[in-house]
Amino acid sequence: MTLYIYEHCPFCARVRYVAAVLNIPLNVVIVAYDDDTTTVDLIGAKQVPVLRKEDGECVAESLDIIDYLIELAGSSDHRKPSLAALKWQQAAFFASTKTGVSALGGDGIARVFNRISALGLADQERN
């Protein structure tokens, strides 16, 4: 799968973040800000992120892409996020809340974490 992004886009960052947590590999294409054709050719609009799936179908809107990734991860146990990824996720989240900047933004973060928890996709640390 290929993810088309702008380099400093928070909506793109949250998609990459969730894909990393779910251990879903993505080919990332950084679209230049002045590129008026790449995403228009894919979805008919100049916007990112855009996920081009293996079958060529495209998904736009970060939360729709995240929903697709979570659904995809739910279909295969080997896609569960590792404990290391979850620790990184936790550290990144707390760092972002301290600075007031969150790559997941607003209600999106609650939605993502609730979906991951509901599907039992996060490995639990065992002491």
The structural domains of the chain, ordered by start, are 2-118 (3.40.30.10)
Position with higher pLDDT, 127 vs 69: 69
Per-residue model confidence (pLDDT) at position 8: 85
Q: Which of 54, 55, 51 is nearest to 14 (CA)?
A: 51
Q: Are strands 2-5 and 27-30 parallel, antiparallel or unpaired?
A: parallel
pLDDT band of 21, cuts 50, 70, 90 = confident
Structure-token match 């251990």, residue found = 23
Per-residue model confidence (pLDDT) at position 34: 95
Q: Structure tokens of 79?
A: 């896609």
Q: Which of 7, 8, 4, 1 is nearest to 24 (CA)?
A: 1
Q: Which of 81, 82, 48 is nearest to 65 (CA)?
A: 48
Could you write out the DSSP letters of every residue in the chain?
A: -EEEE-TT-HHHHHHHHHHHHTT---EEEEPPTT--SHHHHHHSSS-S-EEE-TTS-EEESHHHHHHHHHHHHHT-GGGSPPHHHHHHHHHHHHHHHHHT--SS-HHHHHHHHHHHHHTT-SPPP--
Cis omega (within 30 of 0) on the bond before 10?
no
Q: What is the largest CA-CA distance in the chain?
A: 52
- In this predicted structure, the answer to whether residue 103 has a pLDDT above a threshold of 70 is no
Position with higher pLDDT, 123 vs 51: 51
Q: Is the whole model's pTM more than 0.75, yes or no? A: no
pLDDT band of 74, cuts 50, 70, 90 = confident
- In this predicted structure, the answer to whether residue 35 has a pLDDT above a threshold of 50 is yes
Position with higher pLDDT, 116 vs 68: 68
Per-residue model confidence (pLDDT) at position 126: 38
